Amino acid sequence: MSSAGDHEAVLPPPSATPQAAELAPALALWLQRLHAAGLGCQGVALHAADAAWRAPFERADVADAWAEARARVTRDSPVALGRVPSGELLVATHLALPSGQPGIVGALLSPPHNDRSLQLLLLSLGWLQLTLSAASLAHNQRAAELLELMGHVASQKEARAAAQDWINRTAAWARRELPAEAELRLALFEARQDRVHWWVAADVAHAEAASAGVQAAGEIAQRAFVEGRELAERGAWALPLLDQGEVVAVLIAQGDANAAAQQVLRTSATLAEPLLRHWRTAELPLPVLAWRALRRVAGRLRGPGHWAWKGGAVAAVLTLAVLLLVPVDDRVTAHTVIEGRARQLVTAPFEGFIAEVPVRPGDRVQRGQLLLRLDDRDLKLEQAKLRGERDQAAGRLRQAMADREAAGVALASAELQGVEGQLALVDAKLARTRLVAPMDGLIVTGDWVQQLGAPVELGKEMFEIASEGYRVVLHVPERDIARVRTGQRGVLRLSGQPQAGHDFELSRVTATASVQDGINGFRAEAAWLGEVPPLSPGMQGVAKVVVGSANLLTIWTRESIDWLRLKLWQYWI
């Protein structure tokens, strides 16, 4: 933000400080005072590390002597004398600048030369240093007053109150630069829709839009807005304030506004107006901000130039057309596991201990092949014991039958049957200590080779055997199951073979729900199409089922829209 016209910046760079701007007038006044004191001074100069504090001699023939004299000025030798070819005496000496940096001032004295001339010159340096320091002090006081003003403005709670406080304090500041009998009235207009509108005025909380004062100020403000430059006419002065080359506000001063007062107004308005404008914009409702943004974009698209905006708009339209008009496959993504066509489990028939395991997962087995043998030593001992008890019970039965004792016969017969039942049970267990393969296939789970002697429980799953041939099992997320149908096709990529895609066709969609990775879904089965790749049960991958066609925008936003619908239904509908 900067105001129109050639005026000082609020926070100028060090190379163009207001102190340095006072250098040329101060040197000219110093030269006049030297002439008034009777010294024949042909010119003065000042040199410092900062280029803003440099003022060379106007005569070119003095340059070499001036450079040599500066080189000889040191702390131990603060004054250096030299002569130029035309016979003048060049005097160079230290001078403390208001910025705190050291400087070297030079004076070119005409003959005759004597000690009195040199003493008068050195004494006059105090006046020069005081003059420069006074300019620096005035600038610092203005800066402190400006910071204090902005502090009061920033402490307000609303933009209008801040603007009113700013214009009142700025008016009081500017009036101090005017004679006591002078009058000064300030008003700030903001630019909207190619016209200026009254916002705030000094010492006035509200103003009638049709009043003569507002109308007169509004006319010159409108002209300054259109022309984009400062205007001064009929006791009024207009200062347009710019943002990126466009007039966004106009400050009107009615009455007696001299150069000093105008400088105060420029400095204060240039610093405060962006803060007030952004503050006021931040308080606008969101629909108004959106409408203004759309108007700015539309203006750039309709107006001349702004080719980057126009190119971006064309690209956005083409992108939107592609998103809405180009149909693509609508696919459902599902986690996938490869399973055997048929699976059977081999479980532990009773509690026992592992004695032998000749196979491991990944081995192919034939039906009836030994998978695992349980320890049968305790069962054989039990078998031998029961056989002895059976023989004894049979002997007692024969003895009772020989003695023709009916009660004895019945008792011995029952005892014999009980022992034979127990023996049959032990014989059956002994026959089942060998776990064999129920069919030809591949062992998928059951690695017991390293657990010989470990106990097993009744019904424990020992092995899972998958038959030859495979099927694809999909875990379809709950949100997509309604779009999945039998007969739909898709492509599968396995984690172990990500470079190749395999076609499949859904053969069954079940109502079996399960949770995987925190996602609730349903089980679906698919059959391979074409050549079956090298597989192994348990392999995992990602499948994409083609469920139809839709545009990209619908596909990308479906999940978010469904979530929003559910939330609306849950809380409001």
Q: What is the spatial distance between Cα 32 and Cα 41, in angstroms, rounded to a whole number?
A: 9
Sign of CA dihedral 12, 13, 14, 20: negative
Alpha helices per DSSP H over 229-306? 259-282, 286-302
The two three-digit tokens of residue 173, written as one number:
């500041």
Distance CA 70, CA 95 (A): 12
Sign, Cα dihedral of 26, 27, 28, 31: positive
- Beta carbons within 8 Å of 244's beta carbon, 6+ residues apart: none
Domain spanning 157-288: which superfamily?
A: GAF domain (3.30.450.40)
Both structure tokens of 447: 């690695």
Provide the CA 325 distance to its chain's centre, in angstroms.
32
pLDDT of residue 9: 34
Q: Which two tokens stand for residue 1?
A: 């933000």
Give the DSSP letter string of 366-405: -TT-EEEEE--HHHHHHHHHHHHHHHHHHHHHHHHHHTT-
468-501 pLDDT, tens per residue? 667 788 998 988 888 888 999 999 988 888 888 8
Q: Which two tokens stand for residue 163?
A: 């603007």
Residue 205: the pLDDT is: 67
Tell me if residue 63 falls in helix, strand or coil.
helix
pTM of the entire predicted model: 0.46
DSSP assignment, residue 337?
E
Cα radius of gyration rounded to whole Å, the chain: 52
The confidence score (pLDDT) of residue 6 equals 37
C-alpha span between 409 and 145 (Å, rounded): 129
In which order are the strands placed within the sheet that holds 102-109?
A: 41-48, 102-109, 89-96, 79-83
Q: Domain 7-143's class?
A: alpha beta
Quote the pLDDT of residue 280.
84
Torsion of CA 348, 351, 356, 358, to 10 degrees: 10
Looking at residue 480, the DSSP 8-state letter turns out to be: G
Same fold, 7-143 and 469-551: no
Sketch the domain layout of the chain as residue ranges.
7-143, 157-288, 344-462, 469-551
Which tokens go with 279?
């503050």
pLDDT of residue 16: 37
Q: What angle do CA 47, 50, 55 make, to 5 degrees?
A: 35
For 476, other C-beta atoms within 10 Å of its C-beta total 25
Question: What is the reported pLDDT for 137?
Answer: 65
Q: How far apart are CA 240 and CA 34, in angstroms?
A: 44
pLDDT tens for the chain, 573 residues long, are: 344 333 333 333 333 344 455 788 888 888 888 888 888 888 899 998 888 888 899 888 888 889 998 888 888 888 888 888 888 889 999 888 877 788 899 999 888 888 888 888 888 888 887 777 776 666 667 778 888 888 888 888 898 899 899 999 998 888 888 888 888 889 999 988 788 888 888 887 666 656 777 888 888 888 988 988 888 887 889 999 988 888 989 999 988 888 888 888 988 888 888 888 888 888 888 888 888 788 888 887 888 888 888 888 889 999 999 888 888 888 988 999 887 766 778 888 888 888 888 888 878 888 888 888 888 888 888 888 888 888 888 888 888 888 777 887 788 788 888 888 888 888 888 888 888 888 887 787 888 888 888 888 888 888 888 776 677 889 989 888 888 889 999 999 888 888 888 888 898 888 788 888 888 888 898 888 877 777 777 788 999 999 988 888 888 888 888 888 888 888 876
Q: Is 315 exposed, middle or buried (0-12, 13-18, 19+ CB in 10 A)?
A: exposed
Specify the fold of 469-551. Elongation Factor Tu (Ef-tu); domain 3 (2.40.30)
Distance CA 127, CA 114 (A): 21
pLDDT in tens, 372-404: 888 888 888 888 888 888 888 888 888 888 877
Query: Under a CB-based contact definition with an 8 Å cutoff, are residues 543 and 504 in contact?
Result: yes
